[in-house]
Amino acid sequence: MKQTAKITFCGIITALSVVFMLLSYFPYLTYAVPAVTGLLMMIIVIEINTRWAFAAYAAASVLVFIFAEPESKLMYICLFGYYPILKALIERLHKPAAEWLLKLVYFVFAKLFGISLDDFNTFGRYGVYAFLAAGNAVFVLYDIAVSRMAMFYMNTLHMRIARIFKGK
């Protein structure tokens, strides 16, 4: 793929990311939009490579920081925006136990999202642990969803995109 095609492709994905993140202003989409928008970076990882995906993520993050809803932009910038890229790098280890350990340790970002763990004392002594367990369970489901979406993309759209860039 030529350099100009890579820049154009990353620019399109970046623009789509920002447009999707604007949907976070709608009620009830605050948490879903960053997770779905992060999947767009997976397309760059598949079509080009992780370096270009990180560059597109950085550009999208700057624009999202300016335009998106505050809580959603925090979730996108701190977690969901680059997780599909990081997932691709982690899975290059080809050691499932180490991969899952890294992924689950990666989730423990509760303080980054401004969640005070002291607030869980109202749920009893084990409220914090229940929250972290539930968060890890949801994160595992998200990880599986990212893998399935990558397979869906490879089976349905990858060849079409490759033909466009080859000019056939």
For the stretch 94-133, pLDDT in tens is 888 887 877 776 666 544 555 666 666 666 677 777 777 7
CB 34 within 8 A of CB 71: no
> CA-CA distance, 126 to 145, in Å (whole number)?
29
CB 55 within 8 A of CB 9: no
pLDDT exceeding 70 applies to what percent of the chain?
87
Nearest CA among 34, 18, 15 for reference residue 76? 34
Each residue's pLDDT tens digit, 90-99 = 888 888 888 7
Tokens of 151: 């397979």
| Residue 70 in this model has a pLDDT that exceeds 80 | yes
> CA-CA distance, 123 to 94, in Å (whole number)?
39
- Rounded to the nearest integer, the mean pLDDT of the chain is 86
Q: What is the mean pLDDT of residues 132-141?
A: 82
pLDDT of residue 113: 58
Give pTM, 2 decimals.
0.83
Each residue's pLDDT tens digit, 28-67 = 888 899 999 999 999 999 999 999 999 999 999 999 999 9
> CA-CA distance, 84 to 76, in Å (whole number)?
11
CB 118 within 8 A of CB 90: no
Q: What is the mean pLDDT of residues 75-85?
A: 90
